[in-house]
Amino acid sequence: MRILVTGGAGFIGSHLVDALMETGGEVRVLDDLSAGSLNNIRRWLEDERFEFVRGDMRDFETVKRAVEGVDVVFHLAANPEVRIGSQSPELLYETNVLITYNLLNAIRNSDVRYLIFTSSSTVYGDAQVIPTPENYGPLEPISVYGGAKLAAEALISGYAHTFDFKALIFRLANIIGERSNHGVIYDFINKLRRNSEELEILGDGRQRKSYLHVSDTVEGMLHIFEAFRRESKLVDFYNLGNDDWITVREIAEIVSEEMGLNPRFIFTGGVDGGRGWKGDVKFMRLDIEKAKKTGWRPRLSSREAVRRTVRELLKK
């Protein structure tokens, strides 16, 4: 199979590309490099099984050319910043919903058989059931980012049923690891590099969430995709996260410890009862029993994933 990875030069995308190339696949990457970097995929640029296309998915013709001759699409391209929704909702629409719409219109007139999409735990909003299963509802996102992801999910489901291709949707917890360039761990490290005496923590520090290392994420995606190919379902949903969770304060303590520092923690107090920002889901842990039934399970706990990520990022 020939595989297209949108956003393949980004954080999760580049790790997925590594795994696909290492298993002998033929991979094409479409990325505008707004969030990704060629350094993430440089090792493959001269490989005859690899092709890099620099392009903006808001342009339909670019997307249409990218899917030509492709059997499988892993759609990871997106603006990853949840917080930007309150400042620039139109940007989140363009870089999450519009690009997915363009991709679906390109796929419906192509030979693509499978679409795999990375959605987000944010589609659940402030879930009243924790851990939250895939069949939880009604889905009520509390951020524009979560709303954009849910809109993309709905479009994918509608197009798959109408135009007869199979779609697999992953709702991801907080994914962390080497090459990440945003998120709480990345922010804490940079803040402490600027000022080792104190660390600003958005919210009240009691936000508690599940974290999954990118190595476990990619392994889960590929393992479950193989199981999905044997299923009769046209569209299916899987949570990918961890069995445990960790507070923002505990993450701050791990980062400080790994950097050999003892800073004073300054909590901003946050908004809406201690959230880090408007739309921040304060408590999130996904039910991953469905994924585990396929034979996958995370190798690292949330705490282990956080510590490993801190060490990986400090090496950079």
Active site residues: 145
Is 211 in contact with 176 (CB distance < 8 Å)?
Answer: yes
Q: What gap in Å lies between CA 77 and CA 95, rounded to an integer?
A: 8
- Identify whether the C-beta of residue 174 lies closer than 8 Å to the C-beta of residue 302: no
What separation in angstroms does the CA of 182 have from each of 147, 199, 227, 264, 270?
Answer: 20, 17, 31, 22, 19
Output the six-digit token pair for 272.
Answer: 């809406």
CA angle 35, 127, 284 (to 5 degrees): 50
CA 246 – CA 301 distance, rounded (Å): 10
Judged by phi (left if over 0) then psi (alpha if -120 to 50, else beta), residue 75 lies in beta
